[in-house]
Structure 1
Amino acid sequence: MMAALRPADLAGWLPIMARSSPAGYRLDWAFFDRHALQEPFFHNSTDSVLQLPFNQLFRRDTALDVLAAWAEQPADTAPAAFVFHASRCGSTLIARMLSRLASHTVLSEPAPLDTLLRAHYTDPVATRWQRDSLRGLLACYGQRRRGGERSLVVKLDAWNIFELPLLRAAFPDTPWIFLYRDPLEIVVSQLRQPGVHVVPGMLGASPLTLPFDEVSGLTRAEFVAQVIGQILAEGERQCRAHGGIAVNYSELPGAVTGRLAGLFDLHADDLALAAAGAGQHAKRPEQGFSPDGDDKRREAGPEVLAAVAQYAQPAYQALEALRAPVIPSTVSV
């Protein structure tokens, strides 16, 4: 029998896919070595390292239980912060700002994390292993591959706000934010270029998935507005239940180096470098950033306005009522 792989055996390797098999969940790995996760999303980083000749010749495929040893790593490998969001509201901007820092590893919507977080919807026994597997997975992602890292910040997929209690069970002391935006602007963005969660049948098992009979009775604008409204409502509920910090898109980018600086473990000498990242387009860093909120609002017709008012605006107003006033930041020195 092959000996179980230890963390030392997987130094520099990161999981790139988690999949179900008849024998249980398995992980596919790629060798990242010292590659900084500075691309907009984790799948972009994966695409980059998979082009390396080594990864085209050598890959690893392991059972999920290889994460058990990672779960036993010291507590200082736990994530510094989680970023939950309502989609198209600045979470990638935050990730880009923080990823400029050599001291930070920023994990942006890794597919294996989403798979393990939602495993219990299709596998009733998953609750037995999810907590420890999540701890092991993020300890693995947080390994100090470049030598100078001190903080891991994890940005979740928009629909993962429903799985926040699972993540809280694994990391009860990790602070988190819920980022949101005027839902009219989110809905227009999703109508322009839909994410998987606003296309019926694409997301898979999730509390966000509407029954077919409900979907069939909605217009496209109503469906998208209802999905965004559900995310906003869950974000507000979880903020109240578990002490999340509500952050409006309108506070960006200043909130990152301002009232959230302590939460993101920013030291005084990090602030200027992080702030410089706000001048780039978050998803297309080769371009400069320019606000588009006014354009989106002008684009919304009567049907979209009515759908957002009915399905999403109440949850947005509840979040605005919850949002704390801007306070002086606590910056580590």
Structure 2
Amino acid sequence: MKQNSVSQLYFSNKDLTERLEQILAYIKTETPFVLDKPLQKSSWWNSKKIGAIHYSGSFNNTPAILKIQGTKPTTSEALMIENFTNQNQSQLIRAPKIYLYLPWQEKLEFEAIIMEETNHQKIVNLPASNLEITTFFNLYHEYKKKCLNKPWLEKPNISLAEQTLKNFATWQKISAEIHPNHPLKKSTDPELIKKGINHLAKKLDKTTWQFMHGHFSTRDLYQTNKETIILSNLYWSWRQPFYDAVFGFHWYQYDLANTENISLETLLVQRKTWKEYILNNIPQTELDHELLELAFLERNLAGLNLDGLISVSPKAKALIQLTREDIAKAINR
């Protein structure tokens, strides 16, 4: 069983909305799911290409969520959830219960999962309190100890350094297509990114892969009674060490920047608090510290290249400049 590389599918993906009406009609005919309203559309970096859509509704009179996946994964999310659940030893973290799975339909090009309603009670708000940050990383430690007992996916047959170069080659092409003239870009960014990628690949040359949830973030953890449900289960995969420790922080800062009622000062304080917590609580050895810094570098490069190219605002400008500075420091460290 092989892992998914969702971002690598960007160029082959068709916009799901173009065939959505037919897909919904099929689901209405073939399942007892009763549609209520759309909840979320998933696109690649705010592009016009929609890869998945979530709907609220009910399944046999039970509140439920319908997820329609419009890009064919290498391994289905339903199979990921099954394998995760089979080896998961945590009493606190689990995947959502699946009520019905529709395997990939070649004609309409989609698969679908009908799963339990999560009640949308997030673990962390915007901005986060110190207690919420602590709670998030307590869950991270629980996940690392009890949710990763037996990897069920094949380890990639290329080195971590090679995969890193491959990832950024794809992400740079995507950035050029989606944001060819983004106002947050500077003429010096391509050279800085190039230096950063080469530095990162060199440092990762002898580093081994680690198995993890590749989307462990505040967006994907929801409280239900005394349990936490983890979503985005397409992203279980082998990645560089501590990617999962940094990923949540990485996207949380962009969520802060995109939230109107949060000031630049609050963003900067939150960013500092999150990063200090990670640095002070995650690594246990000197090697851990080195690998964690490389995980921060990888996400900063992704941010400067594509992730951080969000709507222009003083917060966005400050954040992208801090990203440049962090990359330069990492290269020269």
Q: Same fold (TM over 0.5)?
A: no
| Structure holding more strand per residue | 2
**Into which bin does the TM-score normalised by the smaller protein fall?**
under 0.3
TM-score between both structures, scaled by the size of structure 1: 0.26
- Larger RCO: Structure 1 or Structure 2 (Cα < 8 Å, ≥ 6 residues apart)? 1
